Amino acid sequence: MTLANENAYVLCEDLFKIYKIADLEVVALRGLDLEVRRGEVVAIVGASGSGKSTLLNILAGYDAPSAGRVTVGGKDLLQMGGKDVEDYRRNDVGFIWQQTSRNMFPYLTSIENVALPMMLTNKPGKERQERAKELLEIVGLGHRLDHTPEKLSGGEQQRVAIAVALANDPPLLLADEPTGELDDATAAEILDLFGSVNRELGTTILIVTHDPDIAYKVGRVVMIRDGKMSTEVRRKVTFQRITGDRDKEEPLEEFTLVDASGRVQIPRDLLDSLKIKDKARVTIENGTVTLRPEE
Ligand SMILES: Nc1ncnc2c1ncn2[C@@H]1O[C@H](COP(=O)(O)OP(=O)(O)OP(=O)(O)O)[C@@H](O)[C@H]1O
Ligand SMILES: [Mg+2]
């Protein structure tokens, strides 16, 4: 690990994921770089098919990358064997899916769903019950302990999902469009809940979202384009928190990301508007880089 990265909790360097279906190869991640500090909240945005879920699945230990480097809390996910991956999934990460139904077992009550991951880590029965109840109280569902998912609203199911994900006290929460199925008001409440989890437990949170206002609700948004990080938006004032309310007062700063090889991505529509096809003239003057069409 280089010096600049020593504070990174999540570190991806030149990450590739290639899916092979019969003779066809799909490059889902192509040289992705990402650094996330411990306790940071980062939103990941990008068009459908850009590689957001692929990245989250790799960080969750559900899927192995094809090449590159990825470490979480100093653990090298490429080097981990079967047993280590299982331990990692149980103890080091919590995952929340978009589909509310995917986050809970349908025949189990809220408290049983939250207690389940603790059975897998051999927590004693009484402790499990107590912790599950406490977690459900934290997510505001202390009054729904014995409800099965069908008797809960979508927002309530996602609250249980967050409690399930937190059961074994993981330092990292990964959420793949956790508010995608919710109305705006409920989505805002769930974002608030992520905010209080981050604040109170210090959990590092990566959240994939299509919320167009997300930049006003978190401190840092990274955009994936074609399997690679392309731009990053930050609040001008250093700001960690995630909230359901947008704070449009605070100015945003947008950066284009430069990878280790000096590559930057320029959106195709911008290049088209400048009539730049496959070549451009680059000049450097007064500390400014200019990109022009060929003629
Ligand atoms: N298991 C798989 N086998 C083959 N190709 C896959 C697989 N999973 C994803 N892909 C492909 O990889 C690319 C990235 O997919 P991914 O699911 O990561 O996108 P996404 O950014 O999450 O999109 P969405 O916003 O629609 O959820 C897509 O082209 C997709 O078709
Ligand atoms: Mg996805």
pLDDT in tens, 156-166: 999 999 999 99
Ligand nearest to the CA of 224: 1
Same domain, 236 and 273: no
Q: Please report the pLDDT score of residue 268 as a whole number.
A: 81
What pLDDT score does 247 carry?
67
Quick one: 270 and 244 in the same domain?
no
Domain enclosing residue 273, as ranges: 266-295
Split into its structural domains, the chain has a count of: 2
The reply to whether ligand 1 has any atom less than 6 angstroms from the CB of 53 is yes
Given the CA of residue 63, which atom of ligand 1 is nearest to it? 1
- pLDDT averaged per 10 residues in sequence order, the chain, 295 residues: 67 95 93 94 94 96 94 93 92 92 93 95 93 94 95 94 95 95 90 91 94 85 93 74 71 83 82 89 89 86
Edge to edge, the sheet with strand 93-96 lists 93-96, 172-176, 204-208, 41-45, 220-225, 228-235, 252-256
Q: Are residues 81 and 58 in the same domain?
A: yes
pLDDT number for residue 89: 94
Whose C-alpha lies nearest to ligand 1, atom 25? 48
State pLDDT tens for residues 266-284.
878 888 898 998 888 989 8
With respect to residue 33, please indicate whether it lies within any of the assigned structural domains: yes
227 CA: nearest ligand 1 atom: 14
- Model's pTM, two decimal places? 0.90
**What is the rounded distance in angstroms from the CA atom of residue 90 to the CA atom of residue 167?**
9
Question: Does residue 124 belong to any structural domain of this protein?
Answer: no
Q: What are 101's two structure tokens?
A: 């139904």
Q: What percent of the chain shows pLDDT beyond 70?
A: 95
Say if residues 187 and 211 touch (Cβ distance below 8 Å).
yes
Same domain membership, residue 270 and residue 243: no
Instruction: For residues 196 and 214, state if they share a domain.
Output: yes
Whole-angstrom Cα distance, residue 78 to residue 227?
Answer: 18
pLDDT in the model for residue 237: 64
CA of 220 to the centre of ligand 2 (A): 19
pLDDT at 102: 86
Give yes or no: residues 272 and 189 share one domain: no
57 Cβ below 6 A of ligand 1:
no
State the pLDDT at residue 3: 44
User: Which residues lie at CB < 5 A from ion ligand 2?
Assistant: 53
Residues 32 and 50 occupy one common structural domain: yes
CA distance to 140, 141, 161, 192, per residue, from 156 (Å):
9, 7, 9, 14
